[in-house]
Amino acid sequence: MLKVGIVGCGTIGTILSRAITEHPTDIELVSVFDRHIGYSEKLTSTLACTPAIEDVPQMAEHVDIIVECASISAVPEVARTSLINGCSVMIMSVGALSNTHLKNELINLAEKNNAKIHIPSGAIIGIDGIKSAKIAGINKITLRTKKHPGSLKGASYTKEKGINLDAINKETMIFKGTAREATDAFPANINVATTLALASGIENFNVEIYANPELRRNVHEITVEGGFGKFEVLVENVASPANPKTSYLAALSAITTLEQMTNPIQIGT
């Protein structure tokens, strides 16, 4: 039985908690935590079972893996505490790992304490192909992300650049830069750039972000070229009804990652 703790009781944390408790599997939800205690209490009151409400240090003593579903700012504490205690961690706010120093620190802690860092594929597909293509050498990656202006609100980048998202009435490119720059500019919206960078080993690939008021789905267009050949991926994600900044597929990828850890058959790279 895989014992799981969840940190962050928002959109993804709620979907994941319900998936674990409502469908009998070899996964047990032991505890949850949110810095807003009311969120934790509200979530546990709606579940088929009643997990404990524990802070991260307590949780790390009782579970096999902690799933971070909180925010980029929560990743350092959650991941460090988990790994120091020999507890594996799944990071949903993967944009935090665009910080090379933090990434290397966490890798060292995982190795030292015989734990693992799990990064789900999130809101995109094709990660298995990129990992395989990396062996032959990747020459070029391009990511184009297109979202409704409403889901891009709140980013400091738009304020700094004087971009009025409410005034956009047609598809408009509002950002062009590297994967790391994209994550810094839109920390709540572009986790996919960091996931691609980690899978490919390339951090300076081109990222373009578009605001399109006609879109009802989050769109990611990925092109990869290298010694293996070329492939293109188009993903049109349904946004979570509870949070337009979160793609439903991202939550589903977290569920699948946990299931894969308990499955005797491993499919894909």
Q: What's the rounded Cα separation, in Å, for the pair 211 and 226? A: 29
Q: 3-state DSSP call for residue 164?
A: coil
Among 36, 62, 101, 220, the one annotated catalytic:
220
- Residues annotated in a binding site for NAD(+): 123, 191
3-class SS of residue 64? coil
CB neighbours of residue 164 within 10 Å: 9
Which residue spans within the chain are E strands per DSSP?
Answer: 2-7, 27-33, 52-53, 65-68, 88-91, 117-118, 138-147, 172-178, 206-211, 217-226, 229-240, 243-247
Q: Which residues are annotated as a binding site?
A: 123, 191
Catalytic (active site) residue 220 = yes
| Residues facing 31 on adjacent strands | 5, 52
End-to-end CA distance of the chain: 24
Q: Give the catalytic positions in this structure.
A: 220
